[in-house]
Structure 1
Amino acid sequence: MKKFASLLFVAILGGGITLGAYKLLENETQTEVSNLTATSSYTPVKYNGTPISSTNADFTEAADRTVHAVVHVKNVQTSRQPRSLQEFFYGGGEMRKGLVGAGSGVIISPDGYIVTNNHVIDGATELDVSLNDNRTYKAEVIGTDPKADIALIKIDADNELPYLPFGDSDSVKLGEWVLAVGNPFNLTSTVTAGIISAKARDISEYDSNPQSFIQTDAAINPGNSGGALVNINGELIGINTAITSQTGSYVGYAFAVPSNNARKIVEDIMEYGDVQRGILGVSGTSLNPSIASELDIDAVEGVYIANVEFESGAKKAGLQKGDIITNIDNIKITKFPDLAGYLGTKRPNDVVQVTYSRDGESKTVPVTLLKYSSYVIEKPGLEVREASPKLLKEYGVKNGVVIAQATNDKLKRYNLKGIIITEVDDEAVNSVEDIKRIMSTKNPNEPVSLSFVSKGGEKKQIIFQ
């Protein structure tokens, strides 16, 4: 009996200890969970103070304002249709008009000025413009900038037209909502929405002068060219220009000329009759880890200066080969398209503040931009500029002009920049004006003979048919 009582006491004591320990553990666990909940640092992701779940961007006002200011542009060309083999080989035949292509345009003033892409109106004999209310007008070309793929045309309407104000393309931000408005596949007044995917994007694989585009994932297809890219306030921030696609249709990569660049081109054409392009006077490359390793430098962002042009504003300001441009007018420069895009909004004699790095030290100097003077030899498609005395001496020649870039797509893949042209049709040339004079006397169908001197001193003559 005593033994049983002892066992019972031990069992009760053990159960009490176990129960007490369980209660103690339970209390501690509850305390820990309670504290974790109270001190949690997790909060829902927010944008501008508004939870994503409640974001509701309204595009209706911007869309309504934009569709009335975007027009349909039709490129009509006249061609000769031979009716016999004799007319085919020797000329002649019936003249016929036909629709070659179509695109979009943006009305930018109540009196009928319209911005579009140069490739939309290129070669047109007539331009037909249709408004959103189905009114149709004939348009005239006021001026073009093939390099930037921008054209200015005008229609004469009986009353004031709806138009879009220019926005500030420099202020747009990645992820910002945008609308693309145009006429894809001849479907008029089409609105698509997307975001800003990238800024200062260069898509020219072989072009020696990078351009700066706004990239968006708003659906853009053939026929959208020349249309409007607008923000949700209905302000024009870009002219839709190109897409990157293996099929030729939308896959999520579309590009627009920034509005600041388009506006400057339009103002130049209206005020001066042509585009006033200011140049810094440097050539170089965008830095990245691979190039930085090759050059044995630490910087992986910015523009590395490979050459400073003779008597340029950059030369006079003291910029040298090996300097790295990091800012211009307090705008960060991470790659060459950043620099090219900003300079595209400037004119000759404008002064810009250039910040550069040299031997680890940062300096800022004022640089006066010079006028970009050039001429395009249509056949074979070469843009030429004046050659400095220093450059001519380096090549061992007394006269000539220098190739700035190839404008013919077939020639862009060859590194022709910097080659000297000394003669055109066996006549020596000393300046761009000499080239203009010789070419102005030629029939466009005549062959052109060009004499070249390469960087290695090799001389060559090529006849372009």
Structure 2
Amino acid sequence: MFRNCLTALTIVMLGALPIQAETRVPASQAEIALGFAPLVKEAAPAVVNIYAKIITETQARSPFMNDPFFDDLFRGFGQQRRPRVQNSLGSGVILSADGYVVSNYHVVGTASEIRVVTNDRREFNAQVVLADEESDLAILQLDEAEDLPFLTLRDSDRVEVGELALAIGNPFGVGQTVSSGIISGLARSGTATGAGRGYYIQTDAPINPGNSGGALIDVNGDLIGINTRILSRSGGSNGIGFAIPANLVREFVRQAQEGSEAFQRPWAGMSGQLMDADLAESLGLGLVEGMMISDLHPKSPFGRAGFQVGDVITQVDGEPVNSPPEMVFRMTVAGLGQTAVFTRVRDGVAEDVEVAMLPAPNDPPAEALALGERSVFPGLEIARINPAVASGMGLPFTADGVVVTHAGPYAARAGIQEADILVRVNGRDIERPTDVEQALREKTRWMQVELMRRGQRVVLRFRL
């Protein structure tokens, strides 16, 4: 929708005419002055400012805390939890005329109140319709919105290093700002600051606090990605910023428009190992590329498609794969319920294999259980681990047993946390949720709980 404004821009910035394919310098002062102005004029109205209110609970600090004498005497005194209001400032991008807006999870994902201000100063209330912390993406729906300007999503797999790019957002709350640069890297994973784990486009266009959720566009005005993070020691842009690719945004929008309450990814049911020169040589591969399958879950769709431990996956739908984050990204953008073609190398022979993109199965049944008021730990919620539970709680796909899905107030005071895997309670081995319930019924003066927490064995012992 923005290609009409590019004639002058293409001449000035690229210096190449499609027919003559020759470069030249700007011919006039007018061309020099024009720069990116037509492009920004068309794209900027689709980038909005977001003001979010987040209510968190904080614990008041006791004046006796850390005092060797009074700490025990006044333990818990004045440490009641109090609500605290935090204001978050960020940016967003309108993706449809009826008011679907994409932003970052860390901007709006936990907000209780969201206000969106457009470039022409119109204000809308908004609700989060789909959010995912791991991807750091959130989709908003504006109230009573219609005929809004919006950006078109580009196929981000076609983006190349060296392309010109513009970042549009609201850095430091000073108002909408535009910065320019190039695409300086692709397929970046695990390099950006923050909690998000993902697969990024790298740019040297300055991205500063408040730019989060803003647009990274190309010279056609199409959306390449959503600005999300920076690599910085000072908190400001040091020339390395990261954007979430448009193809992942497209899948988020699709699921949001279909009414999904939580973002769903296809389940791999495998773990992979990054290829290096030694591993490639041992497998008889000429090039160091791809990801080797190191473990497979019995119910993995890859196992059902004939994959084995030791196979190397080099491509997904014709796009290269060199790490587990790339694999997850490629599966996600392929789309839940679709099939994707994986290039498998076994014994030096490459073969294309179709694999169904399916959610993690709820098999065996989770047998979710909430303990009642008469239990030692009323409010404790537990479930049997299966692929769906493990995936939803971020557990290793090989995890087994019974997991705490919600600790509740009494178990939390005893030191039990969400995602703890219960191994033994009062000497009883735990295999099913009902085993926990029965073990807690036993009358005893002391309680001992053995559990696994982030791969470490923990033993809790306390008096009833």
Q: Same fold (TM over 0.5)?
A: yes
Q: Find the counterpart in structure 2 of residue 23 from structure 1.
A: none
Q: Find the counterpart in structure 1 of residue 99 from structure 2.
A: 112
| Offset at residue 189 of structure 1 (A) | 1.6
Q: Whole-Å Cα distance in 2 between the matches of residues 74 and 206 of structure 1? A: 22
Specify which of 307, 323, 329 is matched with residue 317 of structure 2.
329
| Offset at residue 223 of structure 1 (A) | 0.5
The DSSP-based 3-state class of the residue aligned with 2:238 is: coil
| Offset at residue 166 of structure 1 (A) | 1.4
Identity of aligned residues (%): 33
* 1:238 to 2:225 alignment: yes
| Offset at residue 182 of structure 1 (A) | 0.3
Q: Find the counterpart in structure 1 of residue 380 from structure 2.
A: none
* 1:267 to 2:247 alignment: no
The one-letter code sitting in structure 1 at the alignment partner of 2:172 is F
| Offset at residue 107 of structure 1 (A) | 0.9
Report matched runs for 1:168-317 at 5 Å: 168-203=155-190, 211-271=198-258, 272-289=260-277, 291-292=279-280, 298-317=286-305
Q: Whole-Å Cα distance in 2 between the matches of residues 182 and 373 of structure 1? A: 40
Q: Quick check: 2:188–2:199 contact (8 Å CA) kept in 1? A: yes
Q: Whole-Å Cα distance in 2 between the matches of residues 155 and 444 of structure 1? A: 40
* 1:360 to 2:348 alignment: yes
| Offset at residue 338 of structure 1 (A) | 3.4
Q: Find the counterpart in structure 2 of residue 60 from structure 1.
A: 37
Q: Whole-Å Cα distance in 1 between the matches of residues 195 and 125 of structure 2? A: 37
The DSSP-based 3-state class of the residue aligned with 1:345 is: helix
The one-letter code sitting in structure 1 at the alignment partner of 2:43 is T
Q: Quick check: 1:201–1:337 contact (8 Å CA) kept in 2? A: no
| Offset at residue 289 of structure 1 (A) | 2.4
Specify which of 57, 65, 78 is matched with residue 89 of structure 1.
78
Q: Whole-Å Cα distance in 2 between the matches of residues 326 and 84 of structure 1? A: 57
Q: Whole-Å Cα distance in 2 between the matches of residues 107 and 385 of structure 1? A: 41
* 1:139 to 2:126 alignment: yes
* 1:422 to 2:401 alignment: yes
Q: 1:176 to 1:458 in 2, by over 3 A?
A: closer
| Offset at residue 137 of structure 1 (A) | 2.3
If the length of structure 1 is used for normalisation, what is the TM-score?
0.69
Q: Whole-Å Cα distance in 1 between the matches of residues 398 and 325 of structure 2? A: 24
Q: Whole-Å Cα distance in 2 between the matches of residues 80 and 205 of structure 1? A: 28
The one-letter code sitting in structure 2 at the alignment partner of 1:89 is G
**Greater mean deviation of Cα atoms: 111-120 or 71-80:** 71-80
Q: Whole-Å Cα distance in 2 between the matches of residues 145 and 290 of structure 1? A: 37
Report matched runs for 1:118-157 at 5 Å: 118-157=105-144
Q: 1:92 to 1:326 in 2, by over 3 A?
A: closer
Q: Quick check: 2:360–2:391 contact (8 Å CA) kept in 1? A: no
Q: CA RMSD in A?
A: 4.0
Post-superposition CA distance 1:363-396 (Å, at most 9, x none): 1221112213699xxxxxxxx99547xxxxxxxx
Q: Quick check: 1:208–1:417 contact (8 Å CA) kept in 2? A: no
Q: Quick check: 1:72–1:130 contact (8 Å CA) kept in 2? A: yes
| Offset at residue 291 of structure 1 (A) | 4.9
Q: Quick check: 1:347–1:371 contact (8 Å CA) kept in 2? A: no
Q: Quick check: 1:143–1:274 contact (8 Å CA) kept in 2? A: yes
Specify which of 350, 357, 376 is matched with residue 369 of structure 1.
357
Q: Whole-Å Cα distance in 2 between the matches of residues 420 and 213 of structure 1? A: 29
Post-superposition CA distance 1:307-348 (Å, at most 9, x none): 122122210111111111122222233444432222121333
Q: Whole-Å Cα distance in 1 between the matches of residues 109 and 309 of structure 2? A: 39
Q: Quick check: 1:180–1:193 contact (8 Å CA) kept in 2? A: yes
* 1:448 to 2:436 alignment: no
Paired residue total: 376
**Greater mean deviation of Cα atoms: 239-248 or 283-292:** 283-292
Q: Quick check: 1:106–1:164 contact (8 Å CA) kept in 2? A: yes
Q: Whole-Å Cα distance in 1 between the matches of residues 305 and 96 of structure 2? A: 40
If the length of structure 2 is used for normalisation, what is the TM-score?
0.69
The one-letter code sitting in structure 1 at the alignment partner of 2:401 is T
Q: 1:61 to 1:315 in 2, by over 3 A?
A: same
* 1:349 to 2:326 alignment: no
Q: Whole-Å Cα distance in 1 between the matches of residues 385 and 201 of structure 2? A: 32
Q: Whole-Å Cα distance in 1 between the matches of residues 17 and 312 of structure 2? A: 35
The DSSP-based 3-state class of the residue aligned with 1:278 is: coil
* 1:77 to 2:66 alignment: no
Q: Quick check: 2:385–2:401 contact (8 Å CA) kept in 1? A: no
| Offset at residue 167 of structure 1 (A) | 1.4
The DSSP-based 3-state class of the residue aligned with 1:371 is: coil
Q: Whole-Å Cα distance in 2 between the matches of residues 206 and 73 of structure 1? A: 21
The one-letter code sitting in structure 2 at the alignment partner of 1:361 is V
| Offset at residue 102 of structure 1 (A) | 0.5
The DSSP-based 3-state class of the residue aligned with 2:251 is: helix
Post-superposition CA distance 1:30-83 (Å, at most 9, x none): xxxxxxxxxxxxxxx999874555488953332112211111111223468989
* 1:165 to 2:142 alignment: no
Instruction: Structure 1 unaligned segments of length 5 or more: list them.
Output: 1-44, 376-383, 389-399, 407-415, 426-434
| Offset at residue 442 of structure 1 (A) | 6.5
Q: Quick check: 2:52–2:107 contact (8 Å CA) kept in 1? A: yes
**Greater mean deviation of Cα atoms: 263-272 or 250-259:** 263-272
